[in-house]
């Protein structure tokens, strides 16, 4: 080995040793903060998304390279995830099974060191958090191509849980198999939504291969683990979990396919200055009711990022509206707008103020 390479590698080893020492020093400070939080009368969640965003933003501003700026966020997500695990276990319930896009959204939000609990339904996610068996829950709320997840909206009607955060997860489908070539694939498994989102690619490349619908993309990957003639449309994580190769990556028809997930908690997050507020409300059935509802938002200079309607299920032709507002409920303009709207509503419920996805 050339002497110059050997010298550089020794220097890298020295730096890695120093990084490890500093990580342990950082961890000791994190543990002390955890002790102080537990002693406080106003104990909140150990996970503080505002503080995490502040750390990452500061480091990205200071970075002069050559270490890539976009790599700072995932590196520090894992550092902070490991640090949180030292303060106490972070149980996160999610709509399972493992290796689905909901699981990927959990990892994006909480890192690899959290304890993830897959459950069978969106209702079960709410139950786990409501009963205190999980610190957080993660549920899908809408997809950029397929629209809103109505069951999640319906659960908020009777639940006292708060929205603690949001995650935007890119939905990228891969064709996974034990086979070495596309020509060896004789059957394809996947969830109906994933099959629909890859329809054009399948018709162009594997038009005569039969498609089998299963309960999840993860289940599809599991079925291919011992069948070299089968393939699955699933995430890269599912392929890693079941030892499958990527025969073809990113086969989805729409490359701008994202799913938005909500993080649930019994406790509110700290205000960050880049927040979003979600509310649920019902208005009287009369001419101009929706206009009267929206007018206070405009008059107070508030931007609505989403409005969705659902039948109330309590009275025919009565609707609930779910509205996302830029801003925090403690901001004066948000507070005033909601006060005006409340007098015009049959029902108003604040679902939470939380950091907007960045």
Per-residue confidence at 3, pLDDT binned at 50, 70, 90? confident
Per-residue confidence at 358, pLDDT binned at 50, 70, 90? low
Q: Does position 316 have pLDDT exceeding 60, yes or no?
A: no
| Structural domain includes residue 167 | no
CA dist 131 to 120, 160, 276, 337, 350, Å?
A: 16, 11, 26, 33, 21
Q: Does position 187 have pLDDT exceeding 80, yes or no?
A: yes
Average pLDDT, the chain: 88
Q: Looking at 259, 272, 297, 321, which residue is catalytic?
A: 259
Q: Does position 345 have pLDDT exceeding 90, yes or no?
A: no
| List of residues 6+ apart from 122 with CB closer than 8 A | 95, 139, 140, 149, 151, 152, 155
Please give the residue range of the domain that contains residue 235.
174-248
Cis peptide before 97 (omega within 30 of 0): yes
| Structural domain includes residue 92 | no
Average pLDDT over residues 124-140: 95
**Residue bearing the bigger pLDDT, 198 or 33:** 198
- Lowest-pLDDT choice from 2-11, 143-152, 207-216: 143-152
Q: Give me the helices (H) in 43-191, please.
A: 49-62, 72-87, 101-110, 122-130, 150-155
Residue ending a domain, choose from 43, 66, 84: 84
Confidence (pLDDT) at 313: 64
Number of domains within the chain: 3
- Lowest-pLDDT choice from 23-37, 157-171, 251-265, 277-291: 277-291
Q: Looking at 126, 261, 297, 322, which residue is catalytic?
A: 261
CB 279 within 8 A of CB 348: yes
Q: Does position 48 have pLDDT exceeding 90, yes or no?
A: no
Q: Does position 77 have pLDDT exceeding 90, yes or no?
A: no
Q: Does one domain contain both 224 and 274?
A: no
156 in active site? no
Q: Residue 185: which CATH number?
A: 3.40.190.10
Give this prediction's pTM.
0.82
347 in active site? no
Q: Does position 147 have pLDDT exceeding 90, yes or no?
A: no
Per-residue confidence at 315, pLDDT binned at 50, 70, 90? low
| Structural domain includes residue 105 | no
| Structural domain includes residue 100 | no
Per-residue confidence at 134, pLDDT binned at 50, 70, 90? very high
Q: Does one domain contain both 286 and 343?
A: yes
Per-residue confidence at 294, pLDDT binned at 50, 70, 90? confident
Q: Does position 29 have pLDDT exceeding 80, yes or no?
A: yes
| Structural domain includes residue 101 | no
The helix or strand, by DSSP H or E, that contains position 15, with its residue range, turns out to be helix 3-39
Nearest to 91 by CA among 38, 53, 129: 129
Q: Residue 312: which CATH number?
A: 3.30.70.260
Confidence (pLDDT) at 257: 84
Cα of 323 vs its chain's centroid, Å: 19
**Residue bearing the bigger pLDDT, 44 or 285:** 285
Q: Does one domain contain both 241 and 273?
A: no
């Amino acid at each position: 080995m050339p002497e110059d390479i050997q010298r550089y590698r020794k220097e890298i080893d020295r730096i890695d040793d120093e990084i490890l020492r500093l990580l342990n020093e950082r961890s000791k400070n994190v543990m002390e903060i955890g002790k102080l939080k537990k002693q406080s009368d106003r104990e909140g969640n150990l996970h503080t998304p505002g503080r995490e965003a502040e750390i990452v933003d500061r480091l990205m501003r200071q970075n002069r390279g050559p270490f890539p700026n976009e790599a700072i966020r995932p590196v520090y997500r894992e550092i902070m995830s490991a640090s949180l695990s030292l303060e106490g276990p972070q149980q996160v319930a999610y709509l399972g099974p493992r290796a689905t896009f909901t699981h990927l959204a959990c990892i994006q939000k909480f890192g690899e060191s959290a304890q993830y609990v897959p459950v069978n339904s969106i209702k079960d996610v709410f139950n786990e958090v409501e009963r205190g068996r999980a610190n957080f829950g993660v549920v899908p709320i809408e997809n950029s191509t397929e629209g809103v997840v109505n069951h999640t909206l319906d659960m908020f009607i009777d639940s006292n849980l708060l929205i603690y955060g949001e995650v935007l997860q890119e939905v990228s489908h891969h064709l996974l198999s034990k086979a070495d070539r596309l020509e060896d694939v004789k059957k394809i498994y996947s969830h109906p939504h994933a099959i629909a989102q890859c329809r054009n690619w399948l018709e162009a490349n594997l038009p005569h291969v039969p498609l089998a619908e299963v309960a999840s993309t993860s289940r599809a990957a599991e079925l291919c683990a011992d069948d070299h003639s089968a393939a699955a449309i699933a995430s890269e994580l599912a392929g890693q979990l079941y030892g499958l190769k990527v025969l073809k990556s990113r086969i989805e028809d729409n490359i701008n396919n994202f799913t938005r997930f909500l993080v649930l908690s019994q406790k509110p997050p700290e205000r960050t200055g880049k927040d979003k507020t979600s509310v649920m409300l019902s208005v009287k059935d009369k001419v101009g009711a929706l206009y009267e509802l929206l007018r206070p938002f405009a008059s107070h200079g508030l931007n609505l990022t989403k409005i969705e309607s659902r039948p109330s299920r309590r009275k025919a032709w009565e609707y609930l509206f779910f509205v996302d507002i830029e801003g925090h409920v403690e901001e004066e303009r948000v507070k005033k707008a909601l006060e005006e709207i409340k007098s015009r509503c049959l029902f108003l419920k604040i679902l939470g103020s939380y950091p907007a996805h960045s």
